[in-house]
Structure 1
Amino acid sequence: MSLHVCLVASSRFPVAEPFMGGLEAHTHALATALLRRGHRVSVFAGAGSDPRLDVTALEVARFDSSPAARADVGSRPEQWMQEHHAYLDLMLGLASGRHGHVDVIHNNSLHHLPVAMSRSLPAPVLTTLHTPPIAWLESAAAFAAPDAQFVAVSDHLAGSWGHVVRAQTIHNGIDTTTWRPGPGGDRAVWSGRLVAEKAPHEAIDAARRAGVPLDLAGPVHDPAYVEAQVLPRLGDDVRYLGHLAAAELRDLVGRAAVAVVTPDWDEPFGLVAAEALACGTPVAAYDRGALREILTPEVGRLAPGGDVELLAEAIREARTLNRHAARRRAVDHFDVEVMVDRYEQAYHLAAGLPGAA
């Protein structure tokens, strides 16, 4: 049964390649797969999103506070107000029918309003939790509609939200027709946002201890951190290649001997690990958050979080793992079609329609 699904994403970043992060990649993969299955999909996301999707930009006219308002020491930052007004406008539009008949509103944003205002909306709201508990989102759950549904992207994340909401787990999925097996090579790869909580500097240190050259790729989100911790560590054996186009990144990961994943926090999922497996590239990672749900001993090695010496050992061992097994793990468990099967069931259940498992 064809549905009209509204996908609510982040207002900060566009849902377009090259993706700023896993949330944007997830939203794009989900929207594209739902369209292939014949659903109508309306996406609400940051300006500059993929024009091939039916996207409404989450933006409002810029608001410039008056000098008197700026002098208020208790006022919120203007960016916070811009986001608040953008999501408020969306919620009011959905409540008034501005966007037509909607079967399910699927909230992938980290903003509190889609949850807090779900009682006022004419369609059921399903929220995918992409982050550990944060105060605004926790507090919003108390106002959620009785029929509001919650999904977590990992068992680990579902557990961390257990004191607030009951969430079923649907692992994120990737398009394994584009993330395809590569030939491997001699170098390691690290990809993601260059920020302290992703700890690329520790990936550099571990790769050097392992004697494996390393390539880094991704957007710089914290210039001060990169200036202090990453750039001084670059050399002949460690290269920063910039924020690559999607096809270039896939090629880079497929030509790597091992992918290194170094979260300095409890990773809610770990999309880069699944992407690497899809390319046939084994993974060496910190044992944090959901990464042990993605990696098995056949396709990856885990080291205690922050232990660079043991991560170096994990890098050496992961290089020897079977690339075909890595690819099979991704296809069987983390393909986007597996994810969409689960979401279709959740949509039908939320909407009270036939087809729910």
Structure 2
Amino acid sequence: MSNRPLRIAMVAPPWFELPPRAYGGIEAMCADLTDALVARGHDVTLIAAGRNGTRAQRMLRTYDVPQGPRLGEPLPEVWHTAAAGRLLDDLDVDVVHDHTLAGPLLARGRSVPTVVTTHGPLDGEPGDYYRQLGDSVHLVAISESQRSQALDLNWAGTVHNALRASDFPYRRDKEDWVFFLGRCTPDKGMHLAIDAALAAGREIKLAAKCSEPAEQAYFEAEIKPRLGRGVEWLGEVTGEHKKHLLARARCLLFPLQWEEPFGMVMIEAMVCGTPVVTLRRGSVPEVVLDGVTGLVRDNAAELPDAVEAVGSIDSRDCRNHVIEHFQPDTMAAGYEAVYRKVIAATTTAPAPLVPAPRREDMLPVA
């Protein structure tokens, strides 16, 4: 088992195809991980919605069309889980790797281990949910910061997310404006990014998904009043357009207001040679090397000076940091180690002791 190729069932969420054409961070991670595992010689069966753009040896489809327009509704996720469970019943695999929220509910009835990547925050109900699952699932954190939020969960490892550096352009010479890229939500701190850029005397371009009611409400309350001279709203940008904006910007300005579990946008910027100016929240110290690939500050009042000072960061250090630490093969090696660990634990674990029934509990046979 320590050397032979593994048979892996990869269960993706139902919202976007793999790889996603636009928004879909979890789906992008699943696609990169699938391709890297296949490149390492493993047999991967992908269970997902829509088309298959990965190198998985086979795909079992739940929905013909991804359910992105229904994101936030419970039924597509539950239906997808039921369909995936039925498909998994007929598969001969060594391990199931589930990236959905509802899917782990079926893990308790399987003979093979289920690995679950915790893609979101773990405070409050999400952490309590995984506690209810107990040791029926083997959890993988995407950062040590995320894992520290709930040390009591059944952790099998920590594996950082990754991206393919070759998919992103590198540009050494930067233009004199700063960039915000993320969701249009208060926890990403877009309003603080605008204030910091203007205080630093720099123009800022804003690119964000703004389709859900809560996102639109935040935009109307905090962003729209700040638009005007020096503040350009681009809306949601994707594909090559997004990558070239990242490569051109003086820096990515990312004033987080929550404990970010990972933050893919930070490594997307750095691989383009663009440093990150951000706050010390969540996974930031694990992702950005302060003074080398960006500037990490403790409060928003320090951001304008950081925008000025970021010009001293060498763009080559930014890209090399991502290549050394956040490539898909590195991520796949981390998950492979987790798979082998939980498979070994499952196959060597002794059968649970079942006490013999007491005489008074036994019913006579008719």
Q: Distance in 2 between matches of 1:27 and 1:197?
A: 24
Deviation at 1:187, TM superposition (A): 1.5
Deviation at 1:117, TM superposition (A): 2.4
Aligned to 2:310: 318
Aligned to 1:169: 158
Q: Percent identity?
A: 27
Q: Distance in 1 between matches of 2:59 and 2:200?
A: 45
Which string of whole-angstrom CA distances, capped at 9 and with x for unpartnered residues, describes residues 154-180 of structure 1? Answer: 111111121333342111111111124
Q: Distance in 1 between matches of 2:23 and 2:327?
A: 20
Aligned to 1:234: 227
Cα 1:347–1:207 change in 2 (3 A) is: same
Cα 1:264–1:164 change in 2 (3 A) is: same
Aligned to 2:87: 93
Cα 1:338–1:225 change in 2 (3 A) is: same
Q: How many residues align?
A: 330
Q: Does the CA-based 8 Å contact 1:132-1:161 persist in structure 2? A: no
Which secondary structure does the structure 1 equivalent of 2:209 belong to? coil
Which secondary structure does the structure 1 equivalent of 2:78 belong to? helix
Whether 2:167 is the aligned partner of 1:178: answer yes
Which string of whole-angstrom CA distances, capped at 9 and with x for unpartnered residues, describes residues 122-148 of structure 1? Answer: 3211111112225256334433455x4
Deviation at 1:32, TM superposition (A): 2.3
Aligned to 1:83: 77
1:338 is aligned, of 319, 330, 334, to: 330
Q: Distance in 2 between matches of 1:248 and 1:137?
A: 37
TM-score by length of 2: 0.81
Aligned to 1:209: 199
Q: Does the CA-based 8 Å contact 1:60-1:86 persist in structure 2? A: no
Q: Distance in 2 between matches of 1:83 and 1:28?
A: 19
Deviation at 1:29, TM superposition (A): 1.6
Whether 2:190 is the aligned partner of 1:195: answer no
2:294 is aligned, of 300, 324, 327, to: 300
Cα 1:130–1:93 change in 2 (3 A) is: same
Q: Distance in 2 between matches of 1:46 and 1:210?
A: 45
Aligned to 1:17: 20
Once superposed, what is the RMSD of the aligned Cα atoms? 2.7
Aligned to 2:6: 3
Q: Distance in 1 between matches of 2:233 and 2:117?
A: 33
Aligned pairs (5 A) from 1:75-154: 79-94=73-88, 96-97=89-90, 100-109=91-100, 111-114=101-104, 116-133=105-122, 134-135=124-125, 138-145=128-135, 148-154=137-143
Aligned to 2:357: none
Structure 2: any 5+ residue segments left out of the alignment? 66-71, 346-366
Which string of whole-angstrom CA distances, capped at 9 and with x for unpartnered residues, describes residues 323-351 of structure 1? Answer: 11111211111122211111122222222
Q: Distance in 2 between matches of 1:174 and 1:217?
A: 20
Whether 2:262 is the aligned partner of 1:269: answer yes
Q: Does the CA-based 8 Å contact 2:35-2:55 persist in structure 1? A: no
Cα 1:89–1:123 change in 2 (3 A) is: same
Which secondary structure does the structure 2 equivalent of 1:259 belong to? strand
Which string of whole-angstrom CA distances, capped at 9 and with x for unpartnered residues, describes residues 292-312 of structure 1? Answer: 1111121111122xx432122
Moved more, 316-325 or 81-90: 81-90
Q: Does the CA-based 8 Å contact 1:282-1:323 persist in structure 2? A: yes
Which secondary structure does the structure 2 equivalent of 1:87 belong to? helix
Letter in 2 for 1:130: H
Letter in 2 for 1:31: T
TM-score by length of 1: 0.83
Cα 1:56–1:121 change in 2 (3 A) is: same
Q: Does the CA-based 8 Å contact 1:7-1:41 persist in structure 2? A: yes
Structure 1: any 5+ residue segments left out of the alignment? 62-77
Letter in 1 for 2:178: A
